[in-house]
Structure 1
């Protein structure tokens, strides 16, 4: 149990860097010979790039993916010079020198991006990745565009080090779209001999050899999310969130709690208020459906999750546990990030990436 006394915020977020490293090693073993990279976008899924990136590097990771140039700059500062850093979300116009200056690799997803990188890259070729869209319809060259580009002399100046795509439904093993993507990407890969290929995300690592290719790009699973929904998770939990009970009160039958009186006590109830809310990344959608554990007992959220406060019904919790200053567990043990996401009507990804900046943070095992 975390000691929350003298905490500058009502919640404490504990990040287990040892578990993060163990999850990377578990995924590397599953990948069976493919290089295992790490996706550290969204501030390492809310865990913090400055702490998470070095822990993953110490575990053996050499290649990292972020979403934005600003994240890449943060990652470069946290990693040794030989770490490879790719930036996923396209190549903003006029940004070539920023990429080249920090030794970052853009992920190019259009002919315009390819042309601009090639023009800026002629003076000294730096590698880049090519993103091929095999079904997501967000970013990337179409399959025909990628096949046509394979014979274009401009590739000499692009210096592609990786050709990649992204699975649409990897967590659904029998989805026919996955088979179609695997087939389309295999054709593209064959058109780029000598260039490493990457298709598998966290769930894709567990789909067998077909999607793995030369490099896999796990993200969510590294941070404790289950990459095999419907089956026991092979990953270790990484984050734990506890909040201090700020106040306890009893309410009579018929009394309401929270904004707009959306909850009414059906009988005499004991309520506890936690000092955190949606400003800390705990979603408002968890109102009336989320829960915390107090003294090991499930205590439902009542009323509306507000900006800085959450109300629990602690009537069934032991009195010695449901008291001012005592901890309530919001993420951890049976309340893993997937369960918390379901309880909030969302997904664990949103829970992780929304983890607030106001929490007192503790890193362990790094």
Structure 2
């Protein structure tokens, strides 16, 4: 059996424990799960099935196709909200799959009411409170609430989205909460049954006022730190091991990699491994990334190529033989936030960029990474 180009191990039960931890933190508010982008690149089917078995009853995705795929693996029981809304002509597919679109413009609301006819289907309604992306502005909402059509729209979730929740002291957090509560107060007169939802992963840690009736964690489920600058309250979820293709001991001072951006001294030992920017290991990691081999940290040397990386393994006391050796670039110590810092990015991008060439191994027991 051939060796994989890389082994991505995903601890599904760690994801479940992360969700349970958040669920208990926000109770009595409900805790949903955001599984868009193929559960942040980790595999929506095993992740969603495990979360559903743990008691999650509300899921959020980004697109119609994601919603239909989720219905295919979970059946009709949980509620599914499509954050990207419903595009013209797609309304029948939403109704057939029992998906709730997030409606964020008057045009979308009018189309949804017209398409559903005498019995409008459930939906979510989004208010813009400061992200200035998707959502009705406050005046649009108030004008709509005063129209007869509003009472015909079966809004199940009244929601908004925080823009600066990962900065707890940012004044926008309180401003958005106040704007949301103004809109909610007006909406309650028309849709008293609607579930109020404001917080993403980081918003959960702003405090109970931001929890409202339902929170929507995404990244925190997958091990990304929702409290930047503080210890991560969530468990790591992924481990990525890249096989060593070749060792070499340098007989002279040499340059390494494209454009000769790195110089390495005579006598140092290098390991070339399978993996590169085609696998989601971005070029911004060049000469900045790190890995671990045989329990030792090893620095990435030179440019990240499409299919290969080079590490300096000189300080590893005993090198495992090629065929058995693998350098871990993600694990409990080198987590997604650490890689994101080296990339100058965020953990979300690390996870959603992980490539298709990796063999994926799912841990479903209590074993941790």
- TM-score for the superposition, normalised by structure 2: 0.95
Q: Distance in 1 between matches of 2:164 and 2:173?
A: 6
Matching residue of 1:228 = 227
In the other structure, the counterpart of 1:44 is 39
Q: Which runs of 5+ in 2 are unaligned?
A: none
| SS of equivalent residue, structure 1 residue 22 | helix
1:76 deviation in Å?
0.8
C-alpha contact 1:126 1:159 (8 A) present in aligned 2: yes
1:103 aligns with 2:98: yes
Distance 1:219 1:210 in 2: 19
Give the secondary-structure state (helix, strand or coil) at the position aligned to 1:210: helix
Deviation at 1:7, TM superposition (A): 5.1
| Aligned pair partner of 1:31 in 19, 26, 31 | 26
The structural deviation recorded for 1:189 is: 0.7
Pairs within 5 Å for 1:286-325: 286-321=285-320, 323-325=322-324
Quickly say closer, same or farther: Cα 1:152–1:167, change in 2 above 3 A.
same
Question: 1:114 is matched with which residue?
Answer: 109
Is the contact between residue 8 and residue 360 of structure 1 (CA under 8 Å) also seen in structure 2? Answer: no
Q: Which runs of 4+ in 1 moved over 4 A?
A: none
Corresponding residue for residue 350 of structure 1: 349
Name the residue aligned to 2:239. Answer: 240
Q: Secondary structure at the match of 2:227?
A: coil
Could you tell me how far 1:149 is from its partner in structure 2? Answer: 1.8
1:173 to 150, 153, 168: 168
Within 5 A, what are the aligned runs for 1:253-272? 253-272=252-271
Query: Which deviates further from its counterpart, 252-261 or 342-351?
Result: 252-261
Deviation of 1:8 (Å): 4.9
More divergent stretch after superposition (317-326 vs 118-127)? 317-326
Q: Deviations over 1:98-123 (max 9, x none)?
A: 10111111001111001000111224
Q: Please give the residue correspondences for 1:147-186 in structure 2 after superposition, counting only pairs within 5 Å.
A: 147-186=142-181
Aligned to 1:3: none
Alpha-carbon shift at residue 91 of structure 1 (Å)? 2.0
Structure 1: gaps of 5 or more residues: 1-5
- Asked whether the 8 Å contact 2:271–2:312 carries over to 1, the reply is yes
CA distance in 2, matches of 1:7, 1:345: 35
Equivalent position of 2:197 in the other structure:
198
Question: 1:325, CA displacement in angstroms?
Answer: 3.1
Equivalent residues of 1:200, 1:211 under 8 A apart: yes
Contact persistence 2:340–2:350 (CA under 8 A):
yes
SS at match of 1:129: strand
The TM-score with structure 1 as length reference comes to: 0.95
Do residues 91 (structure 1) and 77 (structure 2) align? no
Q: Distance in 1 between matches of 2:341 and 2:324?
A: 28
8 A contact 1:10–1:274 mirrored in 2: no
Range 143-152 or range 64-73, more displaced:
143-152
Q: Per-residue CA shift, 1:198-238, capped at 9, x if unaligned?
A: 00100111111111111100000000111111111111111
Moved more, 156-165 or 54-63: 156-165
- Cα offset, 1:291, TM superposition: 0.7
Alpha carbons 1:16, 1:238 under 8 Å: kept: yes
Deviations 1:158-216 (A, max 9, x none): 21111111001111111100000000000011112112110010011111111111110
SS of match in other structure, 2:210: coil
> Which of 46, 53, 75 pairs up with 2:48?
53
For residue 243 of structure 1, report the CA deviation from its aligned partner.
1.1
1:276 aligns with 275
Q: CA RMSD in A?
A: 1.4
Report the alpha carbon displacement of residue 147 of structure 1 after superposing the two structures with TM: 2.2
- Determine helix, strand or coil for the equivalent of 2:209: coil
Aligned length: 361
Quick one: structure 1 residues 212 and 97, their matched pair in 2 at CA, closer, same or farther if it must change by over 3 Å?
Answer: same
